[in-house]
Chains A and B, each alone.
Chain A
Amino acid sequence: MKNLTALKQPLLVSAWFMFLTFPLMVIRVNTIENVVEWRWRNMIWVGTASFLLTFLWRYLSDRREAARKEAERTEDHEQTLGRFLAGRPEVGRYLSVGAMILALIFPFVFSTYQTNIMATALMYAVLGLGLNIVVGQAGLLNLGYVAFYAAGAYSYALLNHHFGIGFWTALPVGAVVGALFGILLGFPVLRLRGDYLAIVTLGFGEITRLVLENWNDFSFGPSGISNIPRPGFFGIALDIRGATIYLYFLVLLLCLATVFIVNRLQNSRIGRAWIAIREDETASQAMGIDGTKTKLTAFALGAFWAGMVGVIFAAKTTFINPASFTFLESAMILSIVVLGGIGSIPGIITAALFLILVPEYLRAFSNYRMLIFGSVMVLMMLFRPQGIVAGARRTYTFRRRKSGPELERG
């Protein structure tokens, strides 16, 4: 009897789906022979698939509910991956050394094409880590992150086009332009909270793209800017493979530097202030944190990274146009942060690799890319809202001393 009720809902759902998709999936008018084709087999597919999916869905959510009840009953602390790693630093160390070795030999083992994709994935990892400062740490939902990325890319492209400025000069300039854009936008909008901030930044991102698309005299419109030089290597001309490997290592270096910096910021005075603002803005201000200044710092720092990666992007593709900076990019970077686990560095890198590499290697499914992408996001939100690796807070141990407590180092 119980099993019957468990089947009832999936059956109803599948019937409903078969009905909904009937005109689309079953009926086809063959305009050449002027006959109506009835593709009943499609209907069976839709019915079976929706039935199985609904069933699986129910099964998973029931299990999750049961697990939660069990955890509540035994008051067992949830063993998250983040906590597991925090408790065993040696595991994390082996993993990162392994990943490092893999990253170092990667371009020599794999083809130019694959090295190129890997460089892209690492670029997104850096973007994710940058946006994580804004969204993950300071809790400012920024949906227009791509605008700062574009600011960096166009800084390099235009400076090079008009003044012949090279990559290495443009890199810091692009980063600073990004940060300035961040401050410019941040000043008026950071008093907004939550949804309002999200909408304004979303608008800002779109406006930036539209300006780039329509201001022909400035940005060369939709046709974009081409022949952007790759980064120079001590004046030596590199072939395509050499240039790709060089860029790969450049991005890898930037990624490592970003990890180092973000990691240090996380457990610093400023990092704590960001989290405090995210957790409770009123309380954080009552504790003496200047909300405006601290939020602006996070916003500008995130934009700084976006600007820097923008310059690298321009140098990597040697061609940019506004189509590279759509809302989809912002959504992609945000997904990396959410999927990876807000505030978790290894999680964000994993998510970036996953989200960039999987679609590349599953070309066959490229038509369903957005569909799969969307379902993965929904499933994550339902079953693992803390992300792949949940961020764990730093713990401290104290030694008792006669003169008072003392922090144990190490």
Chain B
Amino acid sequence: MSMEPVLQVRGLTMTFGGLRALDNVDLHVEREEIVALVGPNGAGKTTFFNCITGIYPPASGDIFLAPPGGKRRRINGLKMHTVTEHGMARTFQNIHIFPAMTVLENVMVGRHCRTSSGLLGAVLRGAGTLREEEGIVNKSYEILETVGLDASVNELAINLPYGAQRRLEIARAVATDPFLLLLDEPAAGMNPQETKELEGLIRQIRNGKKISILLIEHDMKLVMSISDRLCVMDYGEKIAEGTPAEIRGNPIVIEAYLGEDPDA
């Protein structure tokens, strides 16, 4: 069995008016790999996520998604919810939780695309619906245990501290049963202690749940220690790719960050 990459992006281009936010970007993620997408502000990293998850239609390029052991599929032009159904889930750079729902309910929403009961089921509450509902609750609770939020299941999501909200978003994305998880700056706004816990959590998700991870992150310490591979972007172009050790010594990367020390 060949190890096909779970995500394969070729020649992705995206323009906003005259601005080329993405210029012919190639990127792939192997099975159970942690890949980091880094680059200065405005490099086009979030735009890359938005294009491959169906928020923006790319101007050109191909996006292929292949579940481990499954068939490869081109997902260009698919709607966001269909992309999630195919097994690629994401978190957002600026937090997008459901504020007025409880922590548990937030994660339960993630189970939506893996369950099926409809209006009639909800009203009649037959055995099938009840079983499904119980499955949703238990699975969501388990995921909350993984991210360490099981103590606040019944709290409203808006009342959680910032770092916990970020973890909640990860939990919610994991609940959709993805084989590839996209994290947009998961450590933003976290203190060093929280960042360290986050690193453990990401590892645990990869090792325990066999989920591949593509993450955007500015915290170079985290990126260097966690990633198997790095892709560096600047002005919408991919300027370098390699292992943390290779990237660390790459003069082009240091040039792009101009003053920002990748070791910092």
Task: Using CB atoms and an 8 Å cutoff, list the residues of chain A in contact with chain B.
Answer: 261, 264-265, 268-273, 275-276, 279-280, 282-291, 297, 301, 393-396, 398, 404-407
Contact between chains at A406 and B138 (CB < 8 Å): yes
Q: Which residues of B contact A283 (CB under 8 A)?
A: 92, 96-98
Q: A264-B122, A269-B122, A287-B109 are in contact. Are A398 and B80 (CB under 8 A)?
A: no
Q: Shortest CB–CB separation between residue A98 and chain B, in angstroms?
A: 26
Contact between chains at B134 and A272 (CB < 8 Å): no
Task: Using CB atoms and an 8 Å cutoff, list the residues of chain B in contact with chain A.
Answer: 53, 55, 79-81, 84-85, 89-90, 92, 96-102, 104-105, 108-115, 117-119, 121-123, 125, 129, 132-134, 136-138, 141-142, 145, 150, 153-154, 156, 172-173, 175-176
Q: Which residues of A contact B122 (CB under 8 A)?
A: 264-265, 268-271
Complex Cα–Cα for A153 and B7 (A): 55
Complex Cα–Cα for A270 and B118 (A): 6
Q: A271-B122, A287-B109 are in contact. Are A395 and B154 (CB under 8 A)?
A: yes
Q: A270-B122, A396-B137, A407-B138 are in contact. Are A288 and B101 (CB under 8 A)?
A: no
Q: A275-B101, A393-B105 are in contact. Are A269 and B133 (CB under 8 A)?
A: yes
Contact between chains at A272 and B108 (CB < 8 Å): yes
Complex Cα–Cα for A156 and B80 (A): 42
Q: Shortest CB–CB separation between residue A88 and chain B, in angstroms?
A: 16
Complex Cα–Cα for A287 and B181 (A): 12
Q: Which residues of B contact A406 (CB under 8 A)?
A: 138
Contact between chains at A265 and B81 (CB < 8 Å): no
- The residue of chain B having its C-beta at the shortest distance from the C-beta of A284 within the complex is B109
Across the interface, B141 reaches (CB within 8 A) one of A269, A279, A398, namely A398
Given pairs A270-B119, A279-B99, A283-B96, 6 additional interface contacts (CB within 8 A): A272-B101, A287-B89, A287-B112, A288-B81, A289-B81, A405-B141
Most buried by B among A280, A291, A297: A280
- The residue of chain B having its C-beta at the shortest distance from the C-beta of A393 within the complex is B102
Q: A273-B109, A288-B85, A301-B119 are in contact. Are A405 and B98 (CB under 8 A)?
A: no
> Interface majority SS on B: helix, strand, loop or mixed?
helix
Q: Shortest CB–CB separation between residue A287 and chain B, in angstroms?
A: 5
Q: A395-B102, A398-B153, A405-B141 are in contact. Are A290 and B81 (CB under 8 A)?
A: yes
- The residue of chain B having its C-beta at the shortest distance from the C-beta of A276 within the complex is B109
Across the interface, A280 reaches (CB within 8 A) one of B55, B96, B105, B141, namely B96
Complex Cα–Cα for A395 and B156 (A): 10
Q: Which residues of B contact A273 (CB under 8 A)?
A: 109, 112
Q: Shortest CB–CB separation between residue B153 and chain A, in angstroms?
A: 6
- The residue of chain A having its C-beta at the shortest distance from the C-beta of B99 within the complex is A279
Could you write out 14 A-B pairs with CB less than 8 Å apart?
Answer: A264-B122, A272-B112, A275-B100, A275-B105, A276-B101, A279-B98, A285-B81, A287-B89, A287-B175, A288-B110, A291-B81, A393-B101, A396-B153, A405-B142
Q: Which residues of A contact B133 (CB under 8 A)?
A: 268-269
Q: Shortest CB–CB separation between residue B100 and chain A, in angstroms?
A: 6
- The residue of chain B having its C-beta at the shortest distance from the C-beta of A262 within the complex is B123
Q: A282-B55, A288-B112 are in contact. Are A396 and B98 (CB under 8 A)?
A: no
Contacts between the two chains (Cβ within 8 Å), count? 132
> Interface majority SS on A: helix, strand, loop or mixed?
helix
- The residue of chain A having its C-beta at the shortest distance from the C-beta of B144 within the complex is A405
Complex Cα–Cα for A397 and B174 (A): 22
Q: Which residues of B contact A279 (CB under 8 A)?
A: 98-101
Complex Cα–Cα for A265 and B122 (A): 6
Complex Cα–Cα for A265 and B124 (A): 10
Complex Cα–Cα for A176 and B80 (A): 31
Across the interface, B136 reaches (CB within 8 A) one of A269, A275, A393, namely A269
Contact between chains at B90 and A276 (CB < 8 Å): no
Q: Shortest CB–CB separation between residue B182 and chain A, in angstroms?
A: 10
Contact between chains at A288 and B176 (CB < 8 Å): yes
Complex Cα–Cα for A404 and B138 (A): 9
Complex Cα–Cα for A271 and B121 (A): 12
Q: A270-B118, A284-B109 are in contact. Are A405 and B101 (CB under 8 A)?
A: no
Q: Shortest CB–CB separation between residue A347 and chain B, in angstroms?
A: 15
Across the interface, B105 reaches (CB within 8 A) one of A265, A270, A272, namely A272
Contact between chains at B98 and A280 (CB < 8 Å): yes
- The residue of chain B having its C-beta at the shortest distance from the C-beta of A292 within the complex is B79
Q: Which residues of B contact A396 (CB under 8 A)?
A: 104, 137, 141, 153-154
Q: Shortest CB–CB separation between residue A311 and chain B, in angstroms?
A: 20
Smallest CB-CB A-B distances: 7 pairs: A288-B113, A268-B122, A283-B96, A279-B98, A288-B84, A395-B154, A285-B80
Most buried by B among A271, A286, A289: A286
Q: Which residues of B contact A407 (CB under 8 A)?
A: 134, 137-138, 141
Complex Cα–Cα for A385 and B98 (A): 19
Q: Which residues of A contact B98 (CB under 8 A)?
A: 275-276, 279-280, 283-284
Q: Which residues of A contact B100 (CB under 8 A)?
A: 275, 279, 393
Q: Which residues of A contact B145 (CB under 8 A)?
A: 405
Contact between chains at B80 and A286 (CB < 8 Å): yes
